[in-house]
Amino acid sequence: MMARRKRTKQKRKKISFKLSASKRRKHQKTGLRRSLKTILTALVVVCVFALAGLLFYFAERHVKSAKPTETGRLELVSVPEWVSEELKARIRAAAGDETFKLDEKVAQVVAENLASVAWLDEVKVQTTHDRLLIEAKWRKPLALVKLGLRKFYVDDKLAVLDFVPVPNLPIVRIKGLLVTTKVPAPGEVWQRDDLSAGVAILVQLDRMDKLVTPEDPLLYEIDSIDVSNFNGRQNRRLPHIILYTSDNTEIIWGAEIGTWQRYLEAKDEEKLAKLYAYYKEYGSLLGGVKYINLRDPQDKIPQPIDKY
């Protein structure tokens, strides 16, 4: 019995030893799994940071590429077709340079430089990432004035414009101005009754050209307007205003616009209708007659509104 018990104890001890080894192996496996999990977690964290770094790198490059360039060229926006290359060059020169540093002050500086340019009104300057855009209302010259060696234009509002060749416009010379005062500087209004009377007729002819003869404007055949007898200041019985074609044909207009009734002349609308009816019938004002009389009233004169 004693021996058997002893063996039993020994056996139990042996069994106890085996169970302890099994637990140790289990603990080792658990530790290995934890180590692998820790390594994988660290790898995931490293990958996340690496990916974030790459995203930040490319985002920074994209932001840098989207930033405006240091300099940009000037561009004139919505320029009328009649503006000549020489006039464009003058505007660019007045702006200050061909290329500009595109900072927050450049638009204001260029706008100030262009404020004194008579040809432009309501100037707007805007910067983009690579350009400097200039948009404005362009003053369109209608009449040319020559005084001695000086010559300049005026627009429909009598604003004085410095002379620049503009070959794409039918600009008519106004002669016979009674100049008693100094001519204003470019950009300023030259308020004169005789000048205003000549320009008012040109405004009406320009309007009729757009409505009646847009493909072949009549104004291209008008060379000058003589206002030397404006309001009959030289001879009240002679026509107050006369237009001359490029071949010196006289077009007798008469009194200034709005005063036809005072001098018993044809209405202003009748004068325009008669002139354009003749132009459309013969195809030109040149080479036909010595003069075209518009001031005498006539019955059944075609009105612009009736025919056109």
Please, what is the end-to-end C-alpha distance for the chain in angstroms? 143
Residue 64 has pLDDT above 50, yes or no: no
pLDDT grade, residue 7 (50/70/90)? very low
Q: Which of 73-77, 130-134, 271-275 has the highest mean pLDDT?
A: 271-275
Residue 112 has pLDDT above 70, yes or no: yes
Average pLDDT, the chain: 83
Query: Tokens representing 206?
Result: 């320009």
Section 165-182 average pLDDT: 93
CA distance 223 to 202: 11
- The domains of the chain are located at 71-138, 141-307
pLDDT at 25: 52
pLDDT at 13: 46
Section 1-20 average pLDDT: 44
Section 188-209 average pLDDT: 97
Section 151-178 average pLDDT: 96
Residue 289 has pLDDT above 70, yes or no: yes
pLDDT at 199: 98
pLDDT at 128: 87
**Among 78, 80, 163, 161, residue whose Cα is nearest residue 118:** 161
CA distance 260 to 201: 13
Least confident of 13-17, 49-53, 133-137, 176-180: 13-17
9 or 167, greater pLDDT: 167
Residue 61 has pLDDT above 90, yes or no: no
Q: What string of DSSP letters covers the chain?
A: -HHHHHHHHHHHHHHHHHHHHHHHHHHHHHHHHHHHHHHHHHHHHHHHHHHHHHHHHHHHHHHHHHSPPSEEEEEEES--TT--HHHHHHHHHHHT-SEEE-STTHHHHHHHHHTT-TTEEEEEEEE-SSEEEEEEEEPPEEEEEEETTEEEEEETT-BEEE----TTS-PEEEE-----SPPPPTTSB---HHHHHHHHHHHHHHHHHHHT-SSS-GGGGEEEEE-TTGGGSS-TTS-SEEEEETT--EEEEESPTT-GGGGT---HHHHHHHHHHHHHHHS-SSSS-SEEE-SS--TTPPPHHHH-
Residue 260 has pLDDT above 60, yes or no: yes
pLDDT at 150: 92
CATH number corresponding to 71-138 = 3.10.20.310
pLDDT at 144: 98
pLDDT digits (tens, 9 = 90+) for 227-257: 999 999 999 999 999 999 999 999 999 999 9
Is the whole model's pTM more than 0.85, yes or no?
no
pLDDT digits (tens, 9 = 90+) for 11-43: 444 444 444 445 555 555 555 566 666 766 766
CA distance 302 to 272: 10
pLDDT digits (tens, 9 = 90+) for 75-100: 999 999 999 999 999 999 999 877 77
Q: Going by DSSP bridges, is the β-strand pair 99-101/141-147 parallel, antiparallel, or unpaired?
A: unpaired
pLDDT at 176: 96
pLDDT at 83: 96
Query: pLDDT over 90 for what percent of the chain?
Result: 61
pLDDT grade, residue 208 (50/70/90)? very high
